[in-house]
Amino acid sequence: MMTTEYSPRLFAGDNEIRAIGEGLLARTLPREAWTHEAHLGACLWLLSERPDVDVDAEIATIISRFNESVGGVNDDHGGYHDSITRAYVAGVRHFLSETTETGLLARVNAMLTSDVGRRDWPLRFYSRELLFSVSARRGFVDPDLAPLPA
């Protein structure tokens, strides 16, 4: 379940963020390194530094294959969650459209300390019941409380 009180672990440098993104793509990232912050940092890195990756078309496969590579299972109860992932992709894009930060490290850490970086951020748009449903995990479902940022 998502928590409401949480202090993010900030990144120390651009190379740390890039290593997470590259490890995700190569499926070499250790499972324990795939934290909430790593998810968001990798997303921002993909959107801002990897125009060769079509995040919308490829993110489900990228994360699902990574999960499987570290022994995880993508099923009705665990692993890849499509609606949460796509909500955060929308949030990261929105953050990037508004931030004045220019460097990778500054942008990622500013995002992690912003509303978008919160673990409970998707619950501003989704009821808990809908967000944690099997249908929301297995495919994108539209939010039931408010539209995601454009």
Q: What is the pLDDT of residue 34?
A: 97
Query: Hey, what amino acid is at 93?
Result: R
* 150 band by pLDDT with thresholds 50, 70 and 90: confident
Residue 6: which pLDDT band, with cuts at 50, 70 and 90?
Answer: confident
pLDDT of 4 reads 53
Under the banding of pLDDT at 50, 70 and 90, the label for residue 1 is very low
The alpha carbons of the chain give a radius of gyration, in whole angstroms, of 15
Residue 71 structure tokens: 């022994």
Asked if residue 54 lies in contact with residue 143, where contact means CB atoms within 8 angstroms, the answer is: no
Q: Which amino acid is at 88?
A: Y
Q: Is the pTM of this model over 0.85?
A: yes
Report DSSP state, residue 149: P
Q: What span, in angstroms and rounded, lies between the C-alpha atoms of 125 and 148?
A: 6
Per-residue pLDDT tens digits for 105-130? 999 999 999 999 999 999 999 999 99
CA–CA distance, 9 with 21 (Å, rounded to integer) = 16
Residues of the chain with pLDDT > 90, as a percent, come to 95
